[in-house]
């Protein structure tokens, strides 16, 4: 135990994480269920997330770049696969060639680079309509991939979180590629794609958001559990007389005498200003509204109804991702990946 504790913490629910993974696995038909652990495991801590998912049977992990891969490499043992979604730049080659992770090659130049270095097994990304990363599906993908040992051929869905016919179009394009481009495995679905049904599963799925409690589509409601519970400590409790204002730019005027608590939490921690005057904290069953502007390191909440809480007590941030997203105008992805380094991260 450290002898110093941060005044803000994330309580992280291991049971919920693992239960989410099992639900997503079940929805993928017979597909293996991997995990996107990029962006420090969506803010939870990639090493801690990967360790837990490994113990549950997850074998395939995805990060964006080689620095992220290096942090996880000690966990990559025989039979565990770690893929780097952004492939290899020249600057990555030395690292990539000596790493147990493998690149997801996503451009003809990356492929040429990997072949010239005789890099060994790799993944390949095909773009089936997103126009982001990957070989153009209309091109000669099989020709471009010839000579590579492709472990997994991937593509990524554009709008699986909506009821858009484009997912079906991408499914058809990817199914066709599957018949023409040799690979040991094929993988298309992210969290939202998994919710579209087992036809999107192919050999392996790659959920991120829903593992961490995000609700990508209505199918996940009631199945995906909240994993991240931010908590912040009260730094000061104060009485605000009617007519006084609270916080920067005096956006809140007390219409009656009130009591507020000032919390060790602010936008530098990822609790962004979209929660100003709109977010909520909890103390047991009591719901406490955020008052005025969220500042960089501090947030005020109305505790008039709770005479017993004060300096040193902890409040839980209401952080149900779908609701918090609606309130703040942020995506569920932003709500997770923005969670800063000042939180202690405590797994139950
Ligand atoms: C981030 C990412 C995922 C995970 O997506 P979620 O929407 O978070 O489930 C899967 N595949 C690729 C290529 C990604 O970049």
DSSP calls for 110-167: HHHHHHHTT--SEEEEEESSS-SSSEETTS-HHHHHTTS-EEEEE---SSTTTT-THH
Q: Give 200's contacts (C-beta < 8 A, 6+ positions apart).
A: 28, 157, 160, 167, 171, 188, 189, 193, 194
Contact 160 CB / ligand 1 (< 6 Å): no
Check whether residue 258 and residue 279 sit in a common domain: yes
Check whether residue 294 and residue 318 sit in a common domain: yes
Question: One of 38, 212, 267, 333 is an active-site residue; which one?
Answer: 38
Check whether residue 106 and residue 134 sit in a common domain: yes
> What residue owns the CA closest to ligand 1's atom 12?
156
Check whether residue 179 and residue 102 sit in a common domain: yes
Contact 191 CB / ligand 1 (< 6 Å): yes
In a domain, 20, yes or no: no
In a domain, 50, yes or no: yes
Q: How confident is the model at residue 284 (pLDDT cuts 50, 70, 90)?
A: very high
Contact 156 CB / ligand 1 (< 6 Å): yes
- The domain that holds 178 is classified in CATH as 3.20.20.10
Check whether residue 299 and residue 153 sit in a common domain: no
Check whether residue 53 and residue 181 sit in a common domain: yes
- The pLDDT score that the predictor gives to residue 67 is 98
pLDDT tens-digit map of 67-118: 999 999 999 999 999 999 999 999 999 999 999 999 999 999 999 999 999 9
pTM of model > 0.95 = yes
- The pLDDT score that the predictor gives to residue 88 is 98
CA–CA distance, 217 with 199 (Å, rounded to integer):
17
Closest ligand 1 atom number to CA of residue 209: 8
Contact 85 CB / ligand 1 (< 6 Å): yes
Domain end (from 215, 250, 266): 215
pLDDT exceeds cutoff 60 at 1: no
Closest ligand 1 atom number to CA of residue 161: 7
320 is catalytic: no
pLDDT tens-digit map of 25-58: 999 999 999 999 999 999 999 999 999 999 999 9
- The pLDDT score that the predictor gives to residue 164 is 87
* Test site for ligand 1: of 38, 49, 194, 206, most ligand atoms within 8 A of the Cβ: 206
Give the β-pairing of 228-240 and 258-264: antiparallel
Give the rounded distance of the alpha carbon of 87 from its chain centre.
20
Check whether residue 86 and residue 194 sit in a common domain: yes
In a domain, 211, yes or no: yes
Separation of CA 36 and ligand 1 centre (Å): 6
- The pLDDT score that the predictor gives to residue 314 is 98
- The pLDDT score that the predictor gives to residue 2 is 58
Check whether residue 257 and residue 138 sit in a common domain: no
In a domain, 1, yes or no: no
Reading phi first (left if > 0) and then psi (alpha if -120 to 50, else beta), residue 284 is in left
Check whether residue 43 and residue 142 sit in a common domain: yes
Check whether residue 42 and residue 124 sit in a common domain: yes
- The pLDDT score that the predictor gives to residue 320 is 97
27 is catalytic: no
Q: Give 189's contacts (C-beta < 8 A, 6+ positions apart).
A: 28, 31, 157, 160, 196, 200, 201, 202, 205, 206, 207
In a domain, 6, yes or no: no
Check whether residue 247 and residue 296 sit in a common domain: yes
Check whether residue 237 and residue 194 sit in a common domain: no
Give φ, ψ of 271 to 5 degrees.
-90, 85
Domain end (from 215, 236, 259): 215
pLDDT exceeds cutoff 90 at 4: no
Question: What is the rounded (10 degree) CA torsion for 62, 68, 71, 76?
Answer: 20
Number of domains, the chain: 2
Instruction: Tell me which residue range forms the domain holding 117.
Output: 31-215
Lowest-pLDDT choice from 3-7, 133-137, 235-239: 3-7
Separation of CA 332 and ligand 1 centre (Å): 13
- The pLDDT score that the predictor gives to residue 185 is 98
In a domain, 201, yes or no: yes
In a domain, 190, yes or no: yes
% residues pLDDT > 70 (the chain): 99
Mean pLDDT score of the chain? 97
Give the sign of the dihedral formed by CA 94, CA 96, CA 97, CA 98: positive
Nearest CA among 346, 296, 234, 294 for reference residue 10 = 346
CA angle (279 as vertex; 275, 284 as ends), nearest 5: 150
In a domain, 17, yes or no: no
Q: Is 184 helix (H, G, I), strand (E, B) or coil?
A: coil
pLDDT tens-digit map of 135-144: 999 999 999 9
Three-state secondary structure string covering 107-126: CHHHHHHHHHCCCCCEEEEE
Helices 46-56 and 14-27: angle between axes, nearest 10 degrees: 60
Q: What is the mean pLDDT of residues 300-321?
A: 97
- CA of 328: how far to CAs of 210, 294, 335, in Å? 19, 12, 9
């Amino acid at each position: 135990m450290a002898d110093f504790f941060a005044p803000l913490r994330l309580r992280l629910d291991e049971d919920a994480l693992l239960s989410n993974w099992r639900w997503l696995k079940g929805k993928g038909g017979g597909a293996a269920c991997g995990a996107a652990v990029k962006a420090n495991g969506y803010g939870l801590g990639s090493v801690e997330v990967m360790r837990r998912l490994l113990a549950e049977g997850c074998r395939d992990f995805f990060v964006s770049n080689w620095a992220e891969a290096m942090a996880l490499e000690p966990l990559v043992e025989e039979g565990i696969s770690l893929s780097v979604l952004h492939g290899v730049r020249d600057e990555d080659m030395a690292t990539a060639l000596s790493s147990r992770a493998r690149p997801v090659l996503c451009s003809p130049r990356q492929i040429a680079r990997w072949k010239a270095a005789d890099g060994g097994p790799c993944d390949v990304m095909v773009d089936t309509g997103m126009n982001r990363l990957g070989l153009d599906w209309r091109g000669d993908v099989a020709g471009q991939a010839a000579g590579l040992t492709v472990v997994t051929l991937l593509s990524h869905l554009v709008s699986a979180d909506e009821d858009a016919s484009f997912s079906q179009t991408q499914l058809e394009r990817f199914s066709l590629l599957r018949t023409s481009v040799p690979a040991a495995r094929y993988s298309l679905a992210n969290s939202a794609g998994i919710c579209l049904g087992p036809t999107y599963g192919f050999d392996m799925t790659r959920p991120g958001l829903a593992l961490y409690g995000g609700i990508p589509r209505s199918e996940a409601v009631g199945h995906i559990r909240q994993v991240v519970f931010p908590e912040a400590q009260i730094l000061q409790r104060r009485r605000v007389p009617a007519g006084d204002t609270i916080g920067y730019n005096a956006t809140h005027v007390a219409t009656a005498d009130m009591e507020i608590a000032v919390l060790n939490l602010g936008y530098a921690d990822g609790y962004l200003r979209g929660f100003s005057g709109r977010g909520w904290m909890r103390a047991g069953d009591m719901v406490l509204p955020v008052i005025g502007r969220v500042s960089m390191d501090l947030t005020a909440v109305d505790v008039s109804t709770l005479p017993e809480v004060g300096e040193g007590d902890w409040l839980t941030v209401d952080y149900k991702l779908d609701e918090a997203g609606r309130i703040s105008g942020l995506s569920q992805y932003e709500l997770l990946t923005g969670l800063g380094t000042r939180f202690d991260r405590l797994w139950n």
